[in-house]
Amino acid sequence: MGSVGVIVEYGFREAVRRKVFTVVIVLTAFFLFLFWLANHYVFGQLAKITPPPDVHVDTRTFAGAFLFGLALFATLFLGVVLAVFLTIGVVSGDAERGLLQPLVVRPVGRSTLLLSRFLGAAGVCVVYVLVVYFSAMLITGLTGSWWPDQVVWPGLELALAVVIVIALSLLGSVYISSTANGIAVFMLFGAGLVAGLLGTIGHALNSHAVKHASTIAAWALPFEALYQDALRMITEKASGLTGFLLQLGPFGGAYVHGWPIRIWSVAYLVVVGLVALHGFSRRDL
Amino acid sequence: MAPVPSALSVTGLAKRYGSVQALRGVDLDVGEGELVGLLGPNGAGKSTLVKIAVGLVRPSSGTASIAGAPAGSGPARAALGYLAELFRFPGWYTAAEVLELHQRLAGSRGGAEERRRLLELVALADAADRRVDGMSKGMAQRLGLAQALVGEPKVLLLDEPTSALDPVGRRTVRMLLEEQRSRGVSVLLNSHLLSEVELVCDRVAILLGGEVVAAGTPAELSRPRGVELETDEGIRAVPGATREDAPRLVAEAVAAGRRVYGVRVLTSTLEDVYLEAVGGETD
């Protein structure tokens, strides 16, 4: 445990020195301010929104869920940015700069080193995601008197989604250069989001082929499925036209969800981790 | 009684990087308390050999062991100290913090006293609180050397440890290596500086194209190049003559009425041996 602590501290100091935290904290504060502003204006104007008499939409639920869904996306995005910056060059980048070799030859060993870097990044990102998630929830709740149907689970699923991205980024850093790894991880992230939107369109159009493609993408990139499941849970009790409209929106619900995807995500994490450890153990430095 | 394993043992070591054959079946042993120099032009495979020994690179075939443990294993890593040719420490660490980090990773209990002693050993006692990014190349290299000595390793593998040092720095390192040897530490020194290797190493191995083309003590590798007589007629070289011929040559010169001012037995230097071994191949 001592060696793990040393490497975690090493990674943490590196992040502090590279001003990763400073950039992320500034970006987060800016986002939360904008988010509060959006909530302030939307809920301030809520009384003036009058749907047609025959359309029974709960405007408060609709506005709250839509805004908070947006916050979930931003939380995931910022969490992924933080995760990528913390892990993008852990192996290839540090090896190219000659930082890794003096550490690897120490008795600590390669597996412990990689696992420690994972634990360090995961610890920071989980705390970060939960802080942003609950801050956004408080802003929407206190400004608009709207609270999600599930309070804790969506935040945990978002945190797990970011942890999966950390594992993918570490895996990439074993095999490819820092720049290529950063591009690859963000492309995977983008692919996941596109697949999620595709699923929403597929369900709206009732297209079996599009729904099937989206489902495959959700299992292949479980961080996207977890994000969708988190979206589903914030309005899982919304019914009627309100629920239907929320399902159709860009921040709508998940079609692969619940315990199966959570269990699969943990298994996926383990598999990605093992492949990364195996690759790192065989890599020439 | 079981034989004492070599500090470093390499047998039939081969390494291929794609189409490049970096090592072709190298055998090398470094005994306890022995200081062995590894010479060769760039691309000869010296750094690859050292990297395999410390577990940074996997061999294509053959074996390497440190203090009897397979290279790269936990016990092997615990026994060695390593200074890479191209290394860097985080710029925001101070010299003392770099050593503390490596003390913690190596499980050393030397504490502040060990850090002070090591920094003093590499003439960085006044730079303990200086950050790495404020150090000259030479200072960083000396810090690298101090880092390699953390935890009192049994085997030191040093890849070009003096490439960035001035003559005074090189002398400091030479004395440090001699001190380590006197304490029973085994050293594999990979260097381009032939004079330095000649001065401190017990044995030398010359690599060329991934193979050992010459190995032995500097005395074994050197060859007689004749005897030189300084007489009242000037300096006369007698090629092919050996040390044993010197008294006879002096006697003959005196008998011939010459005044002899000096006699010198000529042997090849390590540089001559090296150039002969690598066929004049340059970097």
> Average pLDDT of A178-206?
87
Determine the pLDDT at residue A131.
Answer: 96
User: B283 lies in a domain?
Assistant: no
Determine the pLDDT at residue A242.
Answer: 67
Percent of chain A with pLDDT over 70: 93
Determine the pLDDT at residue B112.
Answer: 94
User: B272 lies in a domain?
Assistant: no
Phi first, then psi: what are they for B164, rounded to 5°?
-105, 10
* Cβ-Cβ contacts under 8 Å, A13 against chain B: 90, 92
Residues B62 and B192 in one domain: yes
Q: Is A99 on the interface with B (CB under 8 A)?
A: yes
Determine the pLDDT at residue B1.
Answer: 58
> Average pLDDT of A218-242?
84
Domain count, chain B: 2
Cβ within 8 Å, pair A102-B74 = no
Alpha-carbon distances, residue A96 vs A71, A173, B88, B274 (angstroms): 37, 11, 10, 32
In this model, does residue A230 exceed pLDDT 60?
yes
* Cβ-Cβ contacts under 8 Å, B55 against chain A: 104-105
Cβ within 8 Å, pair B77-A105 = yes
In this model, does residue B102 exceed pLDDT 90?
yes
Q: Which three-class secondary structure state does DSSP give residue A90? A: coil
Paired tokens of A21: 């935290």
Determine the pLDDT at residue A47.
Answer: 73
Determine the pLDDT at residue A197.
Answer: 81
Q: Residue B271 — pLDDT band, cuts 50, 70, 90? A: confident
Cβ within 8 Å, pair B87-A101 = yes
User: B1 lies in a domain?
Assistant: no
Tell me which residue of A81, A94, A82 sits closest to A120, measured CA to CA: A82
Q: Residue A77 — pLDDT band, cuts 50, 70, 90? A: very high
In this model, does residue B283 exceed pLDDT 60?
no
User: B160 lies in a domain?
Assistant: yes
User: B38 lies in a domain?
Assistant: yes
Residues B24 and B148 in one domain: yes
Q: Is A98 on the interface with B (CB under 8 A)?
A: yes
Range of the domain at B259: 224-267
Q: Residue B97 — pLDDT band, cuts 50, 70, 90? A: very high
Average pLDDT over chain B reads 90
User: B42 lies in a domain?
Assistant: yes
**Residue B126 CA from chain centroid, whole number:** 28
pLDDT digits (tens, 9 = 90+) for A90-119: 999 999 988 999 999 999 889 999 999 999
Determine the pLDDT at residue B280.
Answer: 62
In this model, does residue A252 exceed pLDDT 60?
no
Beta carbons within 8 Å of B55's beta carbon, 6+ residues apart: A104, A105, B71, B72, B73, B76, B77
pLDDT digits (tens, 9 = 90+) for B132-142: 999 999 999 99
Worst-scoring range by mean pLDDT, A49-58, A98-107, A177-186? A49-58
- Asked whether the beta carbons of A35 and A134 are under 8 A apart, the reply is no
User: B120 lies in a domain?
Assistant: yes
Residues B255 and B209 in one domain: no
Candidates A13, A17, A102; nearest CB to B87: A102
* Cβ-Cβ contacts under 8 Å, A102 against chain B: 82, 84, 87, 89, 102, 144, 147
Residues B132 and B45 in one domain: yes
Q: Is A278 on the interface with B (CB under 8 A)?
A: no
* Cβ-Cβ contacts under 8 Å, A99 against chain B: 88-90
Candidates A3, A17, A98; nearest CB to B84: A98
pLDDT digits (tens, 9 = 90+) for A265-276: 999 999 999 999
Cβ within 8 Å, pair B51-A97 = no
* Cβ-Cβ contacts under 8 Å, B14 against chain A: none
Determine the pLDDT at residue A246.
Answer: 66
Cβ within 8 Å, pair A107-B105 = yes
Residues B159 and B246 in one domain: no
Residues B149 and B242 in one domain: no
Determine the pLDDT at residue A232.
Answer: 85
Residues B60 and B149 in one domain: yes
User: B278 lies in a domain?
Assistant: no
pLDDT digits (tens, 9 = 90+) for B8-64: 999 999 999 999 999 999 999 999 999 999 999 888 999 999 999 999 999 999 999
Q: Which of B182, B217, B252 is the last residue of a domain?
A: B217
Residues B169 and B111 in one domain: yes
Best mutation target, B23, B104, B158, to test chain A (most A CBs within 10 A)? B104
Residues B229 and B138 in one domain: no
Percent of chain B with pLDDT over 90: 60
Tell me which residue of B204, B238, B243 sits closest to B223, measured CA to CA: B243
Tell me which residue of B219, B190, B195 sits closest to B206, measured CA to CA: B190
Average pLDDT over chain A reads 88
Residues B242 and B108 in one domain: no
Residues B156 and B27 in one domain: yes
Cβ within 8 Å, pair A101-B84 = yes
In this model, does residue B163 exceed pLDDT 70?
yes
CA–CA separation, A34 and A72 (whole Å): 14
Tell me which residue of B147, B153, B157 sits closest to B10, measured CA to CA: B157
Beta carbons within 8 Å of B64's beta carbon, 6+ residues apart: B8, B9, B10, B11, B13, B52, B53, B70, B71
> Average pLDDT of B87-113?
92
Crossing angle for the helix pair A20-45 and A2-17, nearest 10 degrees?
A: 70
Determine the pLDDT at residue A1.
Answer: 55
Tell me which residue of A261, A193, A202 sits closest to A233, measured CA to CA: A261
- Asked if the ipTM is above 0.85, the reply is no
A46: buried, middle or exposed (CB in 10 Å: 19+, 13-18, 0-12)? middle
Q: Is A106 on the interface with B (CB under 8 A)?
A: yes
- Shortest distance between the Cα of A285 and any Cα of chain B, in A, equals 5
State the alpha helices, DSSP H only, in A57-152. Answer: 59-87, 92-96, 101-104, 110-144
Q: Is A284 on the interface with B (CB under 8 A)?
A: yes
Nearest residue in chain A measured CA to CA from B83? A102
The CATH number that applies at residue B152 is 3.40.50.300
- Shortest distance between the Cα of A112 and any Cα of chain B, in A, equals 11
Candidates B56, B58, B74; nearest CB to A101: B56
Determine the pLDDT at residue A28.
Answer: 93
Residues B241 and B165 in one domain: no
